[in-house]
Structure 1
Amino acid sequence: MKKTTIAILASLGLAFAIPASAQEYMFTYSKLYTQLKNNNKEGHDDVKVAVFFIDQETQKICNIKKAWMEKEEHYEEFDIPSSNEFPLPIDSNLRSANPLIFVQTEEELCDYSLVVMTKEPLDGSVSYENIETLLPQMQIMLEDLSGMFSSWFTPKITGVTLEFANNLNSDIKTSNGKSIPIIDGKARFTLDDLQKGDTLVLPEATQRVLPYIPAQ
């Protein structure tokens, strides 16, 4: 099976991705450490940087069959969660050792994706204030990922994208009588679409909650 070496692209987008061409991917630990160490900073209580693999054709999250790291005689396999988030530990000692990381996916063509998202899913009733609290944390995290002078170039996050499993098609009901459509598992809205004091009622727990920046 062919191995594809993966490197992170330096850009200011919400996800960093490059094409892949096999079911098994290989990269070094240090390639991810620089970005993931931002999870240890203060001020990110509700959000984190997370790693996924995304199907090139469907843009859905790829299923990770197996993942491990190795360095000479040392070998450690990762426990993959049901969310298929890649659970790489953040450890300065590992950065020094810089082991090789291997990931096998069920799908043949997947892109590596680094995203800003909430640490916990949203479920049940979600208030305007809950969403309002997330946005500045997402903004800071995105700027931390972008590096020096990032505030000059990083687009402003004004809302969130809620992702649901199984290509859900439904609606999110609001306390003001409006509804937000969920189309193929995604619902997008900004704070301006809501009013202070509004409450959203989700039909089920989210799979991921990501930043949303409307197209200009």
Structure 2
Amino acid sequence: MKKWIGATTLSLLCLALPVKAEQYRFTYSKLYYQLKVNQKEGHEDVRMALFFNDSQTGKACQIKKAWMEKEEHYEEFKIPTNQELPLPIDDNLKSANPLVYIQTEEGKQCDISMEVLANNPLIDTVSVNELTLLTTQMDAMLSDIGGMFSKYFMPDVEGVRFVFSDAVTSGIKASNGVIIPIENGKATIDLREFNKGDSFELPATPLKVTPWLVK
């Protein structure tokens, strides 16, 4: 069964539309303007990314195949380990407006989700200074998405959330002796609780590094 995804509304952090099909189809232009924020200056180390997440667990659905087509033109996407849909941002594609197809795991309901995350993988040890730079850029991107008045209503990005594979269960070791637990594949670091000279030893390379906002 196929489900047509029409016009969408983007929240400050993510977009979630419940769908009940295993193959999804939408027009390229529906996501173009939200993803175009990646081309703005001021947040070169972070990006807006497109995922399909399990509606029950919130974890990324496995994308079996994804492609876009327009008449005789066809291009298949190579899906990375974190299951992001690597949709290119291109003015010519916006004009051509091809159809984009995504096939996910059979029998699983997935929600389309747009998330802000770090561009480059974090490996082994990461410092508070490195994470602070990321959160500053994440703040800037969320402000760009929300518009000029968003800073008055949106909470600050005060830390990061690491998303690991289910096989990773040991915690993140901080240099000050604190162990940050990984629960359900996720671990949150509130940077306000650490000093500038602190660092963190990661048990594995995270699939995602996303902003953590104070509620």
TM-score > 0.5 by shorter chain: yes
Q: Is the contact between residue 4 and residue 24 of structure 1 (CA under 8 Å) also seen in structure 2?
A: no
TM-score, normalised by the number of residues in structure 2: 0.94
Pairing 1:119–2:114 present: no
Unmatched segments (≥5 aa) in structure 2: none
Q: Distance in 2 between matches of 1:86 and 1:133?
A: 25
Say if 1:4 and 1:123 are closer, same or farther in 2 by CA, change over 3 A: same
For 2:34, the aligned partner's letter is Q
Unmatched segments (≥5 aa) in structure 1: none
Q: Distance in 1 between matches of 2:40 and 2:200?
A: 30
TM-score, normalised by the number of residues in structure 1: 0.94
Q: How does 1:40-189 map to 2 (within 5 A)?
A: 40-107=39-106, 108-166=108-166, 168-189=168-189
- Other-structure match for 1:36: 35
Q: Distance in 2 between matches of 1:162 and 1:58?
A: 16
Q: Runs of at least 4 residues of structure 1 off by over 3 A? A: none
Q: Between Structure 1 and Structure 2, how many residues are aligned?
A: 214
Secondary structure in 1 matching 2:162: strand
For 2:81, the aligned partner's letter is S
- Following superposition, the deviation at residue 4 of structure 1 comes to 3.1
- Following superposition, the deviation at residue 155 of structure 1 comes to 2.0
Q: Which deviations, in whole Å up to 9, do the C-alpha atoms of 1:140-183 show, x marking residues without a partner?
A: 11111223422222221111101111252221111111111111
- Following superposition, the deviation at residue 77 of structure 1 comes to 1.5
Q: Distance in 1 between matches of 2:68 and 2:34?
A: 18
Q: Distance in 1 between matches of 2:95 and 2:187?
A: 41
User: Once the two structures are aligned, what percentage of the paired residues are identical?
Assistant: 52
Q: Is the contact between residue 23 and residue 109 of structure 1 (CA under 8 Å) also seen in structure 2?
A: yes
Measured on the aligned residues, the alpha-carbon RMSD in Å equals 1.4
Q: Distance in 2 between matches of 1:146 and 1:21?
A: 29
Pairing 1:192–2:201 present: no
